Amino acid sequence: MEPTVSVLIPTHNMGKHIATAISSALEQTYPVAEIIVVDDGSTDDTRQVMEQFREDGRVKYFQRDHMGQGKARNLTLELATGEFVAFLDADDLWTKDKLERQMPAFSADQEVGVVYSDVVVMDENASVQYFPKVKRYSGRITQPLFSGNFIPMSSAVARRRALDAAGGFSESLNMGLDYDLWLRVSVVWKFIHVPGPLLLWRSWGGQTCSHNFRGRHDSDAIIRKRFVQEFPGVVSKERIRQTEALSYLRRGINYLSLEGDRAAAALDFVKAIRFEPALVGAWKGLVKCILPQGFYSAGN
């Protein structure tokens, strides 16, 4: 008998897209046992849209009043009965063979806790925009994962007991809940990357990291600090130093290229150099900040 999979969909005001997301889960060539939808205080037509799935016993709809991201995601976990859980945000889509491609990795190795894939980015109208070129890893991935999240949330399928053992989602974070969870799971479990875009990820105007680089930087810094405190010695000191340097470098570049804030950028480039004195990109950025405006283009 095939292992059971619960699909977990937290949602808030996604009435425009949620039916398409649910349909992409129902149409999987690997059958799903159930689809758990937790509506966290939607004020749009989500409830009315969900009526079309009332007769399908696999779709289970729960309404709550503004629990917050962490609590809503943890509730989907609590309500799920499957041995495995697959995450799907309400505005994303799966290819029909997604689960069929991913599930064999779990039976092949009992130490595998999470299986994930590549993505295709689409716009709000589901028109494909681009295929992100991101280096992804399999096996024991804590070291590279510490340097930055490369696991798309809606591409991931997880062994339920791996998530339970890790304590589920943080309810104190506003961003990076998936990154925080993946790090904790990676201490014990293997991750497997299945090549190919099995997820169509919908990008919104303000959703990209470039539009919220300050919040992403701060959130990731908190997550990494907590992880190092909770799991001392798991990540090498060299990795920690390099990661901090690159984090400040990226934020400095964003300050310079997106906002033209040379003072803020210069401070971050200096911080990056303190962590990694040989980081050439930080020195180049600092020079751009010091030279008169006409000597450089902020986008270069």
Residue 260 falls inside a structural domain: yes
Task: Please check whether residue 119 is in contact with residue 87, taking contact to mean a CB–CB distance below 8 angstroms.
Answer: no
Task: Please check whether residue 32 is in contact with residue 86, taking contact to mean a CB–CB distance below 8 angstroms.
Answer: yes
- The chain-wide mean pLDDT, for the chain, equals 94
pLDDT of residue 126: 76
pLDDT of residue 203: 84
pLDDT of residue 78: 98
pLDDT of residue 27: 98
Handedness of CA 114, 117, 119, 124 (dihedral sign): negative
Task: Please check whether residue 246 is in contact with residue 283, taking contact to mean a CB–CB distance below 8 angstroms.
Answer: no
Assign 121 to helix, strand or coil: strand
Identify which of 241, 242, 248, 239 has the alpha carbon closest to the alpha carbon of residue 143.
Answer: 239
Same domain, 240 and 184: no
Question: How is residue 12 annotated by DSSP?
Answer: S
Residues (pLDDT < 70) of the chain are: 204-211, 294-300
- Boundary residue ending a domain (209, 226, 256): 209
What CATH number does the domain containing 129 carry? 3.90.550.10
- pTM to 2 decimal places: 0.91
Domain that holds residue 244: 236-295
Q: What is the pLDDT of residues 135-191, one digit of tens each?
A: 999 999 999 999 999 999 999 999 999 999 999 999 999 999 999 999 999 999 999
Q: What's the total number of domains in the chain?
A: 2
pLDDT of residue 210: 52
Residue 222 falls inside a structural domain: no
pLDDT of residue 299: 47
Residue 230 falls inside a structural domain: no
Same domain, 284 and 162: no
Residue 249 falls inside a structural domain: yes
pLDDT of residue 125: 79
Distance in angstroms between the alpha carbons of the first and the last residue of the chain: 56
Same domain, 266 and 165: no
- Boundary residue ending a domain (190, 209, 228): 209
Same domain, 175 and 268: no
Same domain, 115 and 257: no
